[in-house]
Amino acid sequence: MELLSTNVCFNGEHRRYRHHSAALDCEMEFAVFLPPAAIGSESRTVPVLYWLSGLTCTDQNFMQKAGALKRAAELGLAIVCPDTSPRGLGLPGEDDSYDFGSGAGFYINATRQPWAPHYRMYDYVVKEIPQLVESNLPVTEERSISGHSMGGHGALIAALKNPGHYQSVSAFAPIAHPSACPWGKKAFEGYLGSDTAAWEEWDTTLLIPGAKERLPLLIDQGTADNFLEEQLYPEALADACEKVHHPIHLHMRRGYDHSYFFIASFIDEHLDHHARALGLLR
């Protein structure tokens, strides 16, 4: 881990690191916020919230725009933000569109060439980054996960596919049924191929019936989100949860859009949700 930068923030510390990823076979950057409890004179290890960002984002969007660090500092909660894809590999077509390739890894493990050797973002965020962070920074193995849009999709599938791995999960405006929407179809066909049966293990709505753990889903969705009808499908996820009695708290936020203004408005509620599950708040 190469330390790229550090900033004091709310008496904690925001850091950016670079490292070589074995899962992705390339250099990657990520951000960490360590609360005062983890770096002070009486420091202790603290639990972690992993945040997965959306299309076109890097690790920096959430840290700079979400307004999460003050509450995280108060709670004693670390936050880790990975990037959204490998970068600069020179693969054909990797920079041709905003919704595929660079900035659009979709948190799945690609099986099609030329993506398969590098676009394994699921393994990266579920396995490699937690191992790296927990081995090198003052954090515990107690973890939760959240994300926005494509990252909300990533957070939900990570939790559903790994019972016991996370203490809690939440999402803002997640791509809840990617097999049925243009963003998801493009990504899945490009990374996985045209056999739609191979898509099912990466689709939250389709994973719900067979989930081995009924971890409650906390989801916020803006009613003025311009991607709501075509891309996000929260109603399909809610229906799937209702059929198998999977707990879901879906908040439709009147007038809110898809932006970080929306996230910043409700991020404290999500942080408190995770803090309760991690034993930081009663």
Please enumerate in sequence order all residues whose Cβ is within 8 A of that of 229, keeping only pairs 6 or more positions apart, or say none: none
Identify the pLDDT of residue 110: 98
Please enumerate in sequence order all residues whose Cβ is within 8 A of that of 197, keeping only pairs 6 or more positions apart, or say none: none
Domain ranges of the chain: 2-278
**pLDDT-derived band of residue 43, with 50, 70 and 90 as boundaries?**
confident
Element (H, E) at 13: strand 12-21
Which residue among the candidates 118, 258, 273, 274 is catalytic per the annotation? 258
Name the percent of the chain lying above pLDDT 90: 98
Which residue among the candidates 21, 144, 149, 170 is catalytic per the annotation? 149
Helices (H), 44-196: 60-65, 69-75, 121-123, 129-136, 150-161, 182-192
pLDDT in tens, 59-75: 999 999 999 999 999 99
Taking the CA atoms of residue 134, residue 135, residue 136 and residue 141 in that order, the dihedral angle to the nearest 10 degrees is 20
CA distance 204 to 130: 22
**pLDDT-derived band of residue 41, with 50, 70 and 90 as boundaries?**
confident
Query: Does the annotation mark 225 as catalytic?
Result: yes
Name the percent of the chain lying above pLDDT 70: 100
Query: Does the annotation mark 268 as catalytic?
Result: no
Query: Does the annotation mark 149 as catalytic?
Result: yes
* Level-2 CATH architecture, domain 2-278: 3-Layer(aba) Sandwich (3.40)
Identify the pLDDT of residue 189: 98
**Which two structure tokens, joined as six digits, stand for 257?**
């859009």
